[in-house]
Amino acid sequence: MIETTLQDQVAIVTGAGQGIGRAIALRLAREGMHIVIADRVPDTASAVAREVEALGRSGLAIPTDVAKADERTRLVSETLQQFQRLDVLVNNAGVQRVALPQDVDEAHWDVVMDVNAKAVFFLCQLVLKHMASVGSGRIINIASIAGKLASTIQHPIYNVSKAAVLAMTKTLAHAYAPQGIRVNAVCPGIIETAMQDQVDREFAHVTGKRPEEIRAERQARIPLGRAGEGDDVAAIVAFLAGPDSRYMTGQALNATGGMVMF
């Protein structure tokens, strides 16, 4: 199937109630897409849905804990019931936990891997069934600089989970290319979000430094000299969702201000 404009196509964006996910939802809406906002917090999901509708697109808020299989299934089934199509999945929902490797316990492993890796794979699996049946679709997985560099030792399982996202992106891209489905990833670096603020505070706790010291040290490693914004990631997602990237699959594009150049 020849890819065309995003106008009136449908996208699910997980973790879309705030931060990068919200920026992605609004950017895709500006591109003409109808957006399903999946988020654990109903009020924030509904607020973003209203923002989408203010842009002249349909916004459907579906409160979703992506770590739960039944809620993933409900998310996809309600989307198809409402719109009778699903063109793009953006797996953005994620969590971070800070600890040194020797302090990681199984509960830490489970919560991070369940949301960041397991949920991504099985939500892809659900969506791919529909996309394969119609012979088209795009999946964009939000990975991280951590998946390429294991960038800090203070969130070791987050590093593992994002490396897993990159591996499944390549595997699914290879498996489903013959059916006209493209699967790519975006690897953000330091992005100004509430989650980043929380990480700085938690890193400060385990290192004994102040949060502002942590942020300054990290930003000093960015060649472009600033932290990114949600819109910087959203622009790459919009490109990967749209027809200008029609000959790309299995790729992991960086949004790091030059921190990673491969």
Catalogue the active-site residues: 158
What would the DSSP string read from start to end of 17-31?
A: TSHHHHHHHHHHHHT
Looking at this protein, which amino acid is placed at residue 238?
A
Reading the block at residue 234, the tokens are 């959203």
| Rounded Cα–Cα distance for residues 40 and 46 (Å) | 11
- What separation in angstroms does the CA of 222 have from each of 194, 197, 203, 237, 252? 19, 17, 18, 21, 19
- What separation in angstroms does the CA of 48 have from each of 8, 43, 53, 189? 18, 9, 9, 24
HEC secondary structure over 96-128: CCCCCHHHCCHHHHHHHHHHHHHHHHHHHHHHH
| Rounded Cα–Cα distance for residues 208 and 9 (Å) | 48
DSSP character at residue 223: T
